[in-house]
A and B are shown apart, each in its own frame.
Chain A
Amino acid sequence: MEIRLSDFKIKQIGVIKQVLDNHIAAKLFEYGILPGVQFSILNKAPFKGPIFIQIDNNRIALRRSEAAFIMVE
């Protein structure tokens, strides 16, 4: 099944499977959002607001539209 990062719930932990080809992919990679990396969801802001994730010691906030490009498991 195809699960996107934006489908995950708060406190869930997962691994990034793939980042879909898109205009911000290079930017996401720069921030360390790469296939095979473990992450956890710290918080999701209400009303389709940003998603806060943690990778290693990095906290990153993503727009829902950006998080939809990230396939996870």
Chain B
Amino acid sequence: MKPNESLKIALVGNPNLGKTTLFNKLCGLNQRTGNYPGVTVDKKKGYLKADGKKIEIVDLPGINGLYPNSKDEELVVKYLLNSEAEDYPDKIVLIVSALNLKRNLFLYEQIRDLNIPLILAVNMVDLAARRGIFVDIDALRKAVDIPIVKISAKKGTGFAELITLFEEEIVVKPRKTTYIQEDQEAILDTYSQLTNEASKYKAFLAITEPNLTDDQAEKDQFILENEVNVREWKTNASILRYKHIKTYFDTVQSIDKTKNNP
């Protein structure tokens, strides 16, 4: 962040869980929202005043993972990966919904490995509880190593805590990889050193997703030389991530079967 510029915060999350609702409430704007996925298709900027300081909030379309499947997903993924860009955010707020926590945590696991300062905002906790899905925020806090806030985007609760976190320094350190088989990790290490990529997961994405970076010829060469099965890497990564989520998920969520969910 340059000294005179305002802090930039990006709102990221799966589709249809209240990113734009939160954005509107934070910035006092009135962007279009709707209870179906795909309402937001472009980056939108808004401003928030906290303690006399201006904070820039960027609202993004929802994504399911870091492998883009459509134009609006591609926009988000490229935005998150290009740390050199001028409009790169200082912090990310990842919004997850208590109704769909497992799938949302999958996105968390991916974004966590980008090592960007990250805040987890858990939305719809009360609504989920009414439908018999209970999320233990304290247990979740133990499971992840970043700040967590419980919010209600619709009612506007938890915002004060969230806004204080905007201004706090958050350090997200590289952690142990959970998405690659041990015997293949050395190949990934070689590639990240070769390309000077500090985040191992970014190197992983560069290998497995052809459209994200430009040096395709070199990449193909590397993939060929090391006999990387790109498709296998990709699918294994998802399986391993879900496995990792499973190790802590039962402590976080419990379901009351007598209530008719969802």
Q: Which residues of A contact B (CB under 8 A)?
A: 19, 21, 25-27, 29-32, 34-35, 56-59
Contact = CB atoms under 8 A, between A and B. Distances in A.
Interface residues on B, range: 10 to 19
B103 interface: yes
A12 B95 CA distance: 33
A21 B242 CA distance: 18
Contacts of A57: 99-100, 133, 261-262
Chain B contact residues: helix, strand, loop or mixed: helix
Given A26-B238, A27-B67, A34-B238, A58 B231 contact: no
A27 B102 contact: no
B64 A26 contact: no
B25 interface: no
Given A26-B238, A57-B100, 7 more contacts: A25-B235, A27-B67, A30-B67, A35-B239, A57-B133, A57-B261, A57-B262
B103 A58 contact: yes
Given A26-B67, A30-B64, A21 B102 contact: no
A36 B106 CA distance: 17
8 contacts: A29-B235, A29-B238, A30-B67, A30-B106, A30-B238, A31-B103, A35-B239, A57-B262
Nearest to B102: A56
A26 B262 CA distance: 26
Contact of A34 (B133, B231, B239, B261): B239
A6 to B, nearest CB: 20
A38 B239 CA distance: 15
